Amino acid sequence: MLNSRHFRKGRFGRWNLLKIYPEKSGLAPGYLDDHWMRIREEAKREGEVLSYHRIVETVLVPPGAKSGNTIVLLTEYKNMAAFLGREKLFASIRQRLPSSTPGVVRQRQEDLYEPIDARMFMEVLDDGETDRFKAIPAKQ
């Protein structure tokens, strides 16, 4: 059971699970590089994001099958304030950065993948005085 003594001013994060449309598995990572990762890299330079990762799960799918690959996007923020201010920060970064990377084919997100799930997590201190992360349950 967690109580207030377990929480400290620590890292917060969010992971998003995306289902990549089978015929778009080659384009989706490029789109995420040009949009999602570029924004996180700038936020990291500004000190609000500690780390970010794009994890691709590849599944061999026969031609014509309806199943596709998934991608997990993971962003770790330095604290709760950075986490809560992320949308404003990302909007500001989008305005400052060039609209796209030269040589990248322009695509729309909705043509490449669909969000499946998103979760938040936070750093907690367990009884053994070691760091760990705890998922924050979605509102029921």
Per residue in 39-64, pLDDT tens? 999 999 999 999 999 988 766 656 66
The whole-number pLDDT of residue 52 equals: 95
The whole-number pLDDT of residue 5 equals: 42
CATH number assigned to the domain covering 11-98+107-122: 3.30.70.100
With contact defined as beta carbons under 8 Å apart, do 75 and 40 qualify? yes
Sheet with 131-136: strands ordered across: 49-57, 70-77, 7-20, 113-125, 131-136
Q: How far is CA 1 from CA 7, 89, 97, 126, 134, in A?
A: 12, 34, 44, 10, 12
Domain residue ranges in the chain: 11-98+107-122
Residue type, position 136, single letter: I
pTM of this prediction? 0.76
With contact defined as beta carbons under 8 Å apart, do 124 and 2 qualify? yes
pLDDT level of residue 25 (50, 70, 90 thresholds): confident
pLDDT level of residue 8 (50, 70, 90 thresholds): very low
The whole-number pLDDT of residue 86 equals: 95
